[in-house]
Structure 1
Amino acid sequence: MPGYPPDSVITVLPYSHRREADSAVIGDVDRQVFLSIPPEGLDVLEWFAEGCTPAEASRRYEAKHGETADLDDFIDAMVAEGFITVDGATGDEAARTVTATAAAGTATGASGAAAPAGDPAPGLRWKSHMEWISQKTARRIFSTPVLVLAGLVIAAGVLTAVLNPGIIPGATVLLFPEHFALLTWATMAIMIVGIYIHEVAHLVAARAAGVPARIGIGSRLYILVAETDMSGIWLASKKERYVAFLSGPIVDGVFGSIAIILLKLMETGALSVPQEIQWLTAAALWTYFGRLLWQCFFFMHTDFYYVITTAIGTRNLIKDTEKWMLNGLRRLWRSPKREDLSDLSPREMKSVRWYSAVYLLGRGVTIASLFAITLPVLIGYLSQAFLFATGQDSRINSFDFATIVLVAVLLDGGGLFVSTRNLLRRRRARRAEQALHGERLAAAQTAARAGAVGS
């Protein structure tokens, strides 16, 4: 801790914020970085933005909160995260600092966003996908009447399923008795389009809240997933966050309900279609069931996980739980090193404790299934494909079985590849972020020492 001179010049870089009862969120859209800080911290940041020195901010803090503030740690944190500069970083140097900050935020893939409060580094701004959709249009798409209509459709689908339980097909519906390869690829196409619409729903809901968002490919453990980065939604109201997180499942629920109703009409003869279309509708319904079931995996970053964290008022439940469990292991190993959880409230610590059981059970089962099911099946498919390709005896003797192999390799193999790639990228990102934080703190300490000598 450098011990900043009381008359240090603090420069606050552009940011946006949102206050809550016991915390505040600050963020920078250009770097896609956001932080949760105490409300008192936001007070100090606002005073710095008004031109207060540390001494003046300390006096204001004492007058408002009735206690003395030690601002050095707070200044350290804000410097390290790129929200402020101290003393000497002015003019061209400040511009270089902001540019480097924006570049690092882009390179490291730091999560989080805020409503833009300036454009410090042209060309480095984190751009949203589908920017042609205006916020006004997005709000109409997710207006109350539209959400009510979606709710009615889902209710109709659920009621149809409850009154006609036999209408819901079993998983064997995916083993088409005829035209296996054609219907399998058609099901895959429907699934891909459905996933895309699911993610677009998240993007549009985020746009309705004034938050930029991007659609990409990622992984949860070793499972390949599509994902929408809308981290800046934490700067929106709680209602807007609920809509953004639930928008994808709502879309899946609507299309799944329509499929249920169509199957009922086909069964009664009110809708006459070829048998293949009925099989395909039933298969499509299973893809929607699968996505809704996936969202219930609360031990990973799924849509319902974010709904839960919004409801209980935590923002990084998984990471906090991992830190808490790591501290427990270190106590067993008698290691003095500890992860800092001092900023968590008693309510948040209680959430971390009960969530740890969900986390361990869910991840344990998922990782076990990787070694017990996914890898053996993938290796088996690949070995059969090799035998078939080399002209040896193989179970793959038709386009139908080749289709199964290709689908398995694309989904399971693709998930393993993306997971490994993301793991390596995160490690490089952490190293780059730690180096950048160190450089910022070193510069701040140098400025503080120079200010102390000058005074």
Structure 2
Amino acid sequence: MATRTFVALPAAGARALELLGQGLSVARTAAALRDETGEELDIADFVGDLAALGFVARIGDQPVPDAEPPPASLPWLRPHHVRHALHPALPMLVASLVLAALLVLIRRPDLLPGYHDLLWSPHGSLVLLTGAAAGWTLLFAHELAHLVTARAAGVPGRIRLGTRLQFLVMQTDISGIELAPRRHRLTSYLAGIALNLSVASALVLTLACTDTGTTAHRLAAAGLLIALMPLPFQLMVFTRTDLYFVLQDLTGCRNLYGDGLAYACHRYRRALRPHRAVTAPAPAPAASSTDPPDEQSTGPSADPSTGLPPHERRAVRLYSVILVTGTVACLAFMAAVTLPADVTLLVRAARGLGPGHGLARNADAAAVLVTLGGVNVLWLVTRWRDRTSRGPTATN
């Protein structure tokens, strides 16, 4: 927890860590494991890996320098301040609120919002400003829900901007939640969705209590749409959304995205050379005779999912299909729709600037350049930061 870095170790690695923690030297640890397992393990290399992760305080009398972990968001918020966030009754309260809203909508389907509810005012600037303010406020509250529930479980947590394919997102790093009980993990993963649903349900009840046509009713309808719009994005598990972490936890996978990507790359490489013979060594005694020959290979064409337990292997291979299909669809939509539209708007805005145009035209062009151009620049900066400093897995 002190380094904000977490790894999964095999049984021999966990035993080596235990022996080293007891004060045994590298040589004595290797000898003890040789006696226990009958295998010669490279403990010196293992210690080198541990030191690179920041898990080693000193080697002999020589301290090992360690980088400072990233600071936690809202460090003044202590676990005992928010311990009620993990109370078993809280999910029941959220479910009751959502059920009440659904019953209201069944009795009054006219309260279901449409796109026109976003245009609650005839003044476009007012609609945009209030929509942006409400959207960012809800987005921060969504991430704060992740942070609060993780902090209640003793995990520091950190909120920051990130990217998912072409999307700019706000995400919360709750690395360390893996050490908590499953109920606490799932609560932390689903806290953001639960907050959006709670806000949307409360607004449905507000709509039922206000007169149609009033400002309060129009604002509640617009807020309802803003609260619901991020939820379909959560289904895009190939971008590691909140539901991705739920899926990873329920399938018992340690790194569903990384293993799925590795398997997809393996299948892609094999598809590029379908006629090249694959050389595979003789199967090891422990290998299953039902495994395909290519899965028993240890060469460059070896299936990276072979070493996973059977339940993980099945989940990883299925997820790799979702990963490839979803990524291709998202990037194709960006190339065919989003990118041309953005470029067109930016070009029009650039042409609309200058002394030859009126004040209104210049103001409109400047607003487009600042908002749309600013978002794209922020995406590029965030993407560059993430590529140069890979951090622990985050939820968004």
1:300 to 235, 239, 249: 239
CA deviation vs aligned residue, 1:117-145 (integer Å, no higher than 9, x gap): xxxxxxx3432111222211211233223
1:276 lines up with 2:200 in the alignment: no
**Matched residues, number:** 364
Cα pair distance change 1:299/1:189, threshold 3 Å: same
Does residue 1:221 correspond to 2:193, yes or no?
no
Matched residue of 2:7: which SS? strand
Name the structure 2 match of 1:70: 41
1:418 CA drift (Å)? 4.0
Provide the rounded CA distance (Å) in 2 between the counterparts of 1:345 and 1:315: 11
Q: Which amino acid aligns with 1:223?
A: F
CA contact (8 A) 2:186 2:246 kept: yes
Match of 1:90 in 2: 60
- Residue 174 of structure 1: aligned partner: 118
- Look up the match of 1:371: 335
d(CA) in 2 for partners of 1:51 and 1:197?
46
Give the match for residue 291 of structure 2: none
Of 198, 222, 233, the match for 1:254: 198
1:389 aligns with 2:353: yes
Q: Distance in 1 between matches of 2:207 and 2:147?
A: 30
Q: Which whole-Å CA distance do the structure 2 matches of 1:171 and 1:253 have between them?
A: 19
Residues 1:290 and 2:229 aligned together? yes
Q: Which shows bigger deviation, 139-148 or 199-208? A: 139-148
Residue from 328, 352, 356 that aligns with 2:320: 356
The equivalences for 1:178-193 within 5 A come to 178-193=122-137
Q: In the aligned structure 1, how far is the partner of 2:215 from the partner of 2:379?
A: 36
Kindly report which structure 2 residues correspond to 1:111-122, keeping only aligned pairs within 5 A, or say none: none
Q: Tell me, yes or no, if the aligned pair for 2:150 and 2:177 is still in contact at 8 Å.
A: yes
Taking only the aligned residue pairs, the percentage that are identical comes to: 28
How large is the RMSD of aligned CA atoms in angstroms? Answer: 3.1
Letter in 1 for 2:74: M
Determine if the alignment matches structure 1 residue 43 to structure 2 residue 15. yes
Match of 2:290 in 1: none
When normalised by structure 1's length, the TM-score is 0.71
CA-CA distance at 1:184 after TM superposition: 2.3
Please give the secondary structure, in 1, of the residue aligned with 2:159.
Answer: strand
Q: Given the alignment of the two structures, is residue 409 of structure 1 paired with residue 372 of structure 2, yes or no?
A: yes
Question: How far apart are the structure 2 equivalents of 1:75 and 1:342?
Answer: 26
Match of 1:421 in 2: 381
Q: 1:356 to 1:162 in 2, by over 3 A?
A: farther
Q: Counterparts of 1:209 and 1:282 in 2: how far apart (Å)? A: 35
Per-residue CA deviation, residues 414-445 of structure 1 (Å, 9 max, x unaligned), is 2x434433443344347xxxxxxxxxxxxxxx
Structure 1, 219-228 or 150-159: larger mean CA deviation: 150-159
For residues 105 and 198 of structure 2, the distance between their equivalents in structure 1, rounded to whole angstroms, comes to 14
Aligned-partner SS, 2:330: helix
SS in 2 for 1:36: coil
For residues 111 and 119 of structure 2, the distance between their equivalents in structure 1, rounded to whole angstroms, comes to: 17
Match of 2:310 among 346, 356, 360: 346
Which structure carries more relative contact order (alpha carbon 8 Å, separation 6+)?
1
Distance 1:419 1:186 in 2: 23
Task: Give, in angstroms, the shift of residue 173 of structure 1.
Answer: 2.5
Q: CA deviation at 1:309?
A: 0.6
Q: After TM superposition, where is structure 1 displaced by more than 6 Å over at least 4 residues in a row?
A: 401-404
Residue matched to 2:260: 321
Amino acid at match of 1:293: P
| Separation (CA, whole Å) in 2 of partners of 1:380 and 1:343 | 49
1:40-73 deviation per Cα after TM superposition (whole angstroms, max 9, x unaligned): 3212211111123455435544665x54352446
- Matched residue SS, 2:352: helix
- 2:288 is matched with none
3-state DSSP of counterpart to 1:282: helix
Decide whether aligned partners of structure 1 residues 405 and 161 sit closer, same or farther in structure 2, where only a CA change above 3 A counts.
farther
**How far apart, CA to CA, are the structure 1 residues paired with 2:337 and 2:367?**
16
Please, what TM-score do these two structures have when normalized by structure 2? 0.81
The CA distance in 1 between the partners of 2:193 and 2:389, in whole Å, is 31
Aligned CA distance change for structure 1 residues 341 and 70 (closer, same or farther; 3 Å): farther
**Post-superposition offset of 1:35:** 0.8
Distance 2:233 2:370 in 1: 19
Deviates more, 1:373-382 or 1:138-147: 138-147
* Partner residue in 1 for 2:24: 52
- Secondary structure of 2:8's counterpart equals strand
Counterpart for residue 6 of structure 2: 34
Matched, 1:126 2:70: yes
- Please state how far the C-alpha of 1:243 moved relative to its aligned partner: 0.9
Counterparts in 2 of 1:255 and 1:216: CA distance versus 1, 3 Å: same
Name the aligned partner's letter for residue 313 of structure 2.
M
Distance change (3 Å), C-alpha of 1:290 and 1:69: farther
Show structure 2 runs of 5+ residues with no match. 277-298, 391-396
SS at 2:318 equivalent: helix
* Residue identity in the other structure for 2:261: E
Matched to 2:149, the amino acid is A
The answer to whether the 8 Å contact 1:218/1:418 transfers is: no
Q: CA deviation at 1:240?
A: 1.2
Maintained 8 Å contact 1:173/1:279: yes
CA distance in 2 between partners of 1:257 and 1:408 (Å): 31
In structure 1, the residue corresponding to 2:77 is in which secondary structure? coil
Distance apart, 1:398 and its partner CA:
9.7
**Structure 2: which amino acid aligns with 1:242?**
L
2:189 corresponds, among 245, 249, 252, to 245
Deviations 1:180-238 (A, max 9, x none): 22122112111111111111111111110000011111111121111111112112221
> Is it true that 1:199 corresponds to 2:162 in the alignment?
no
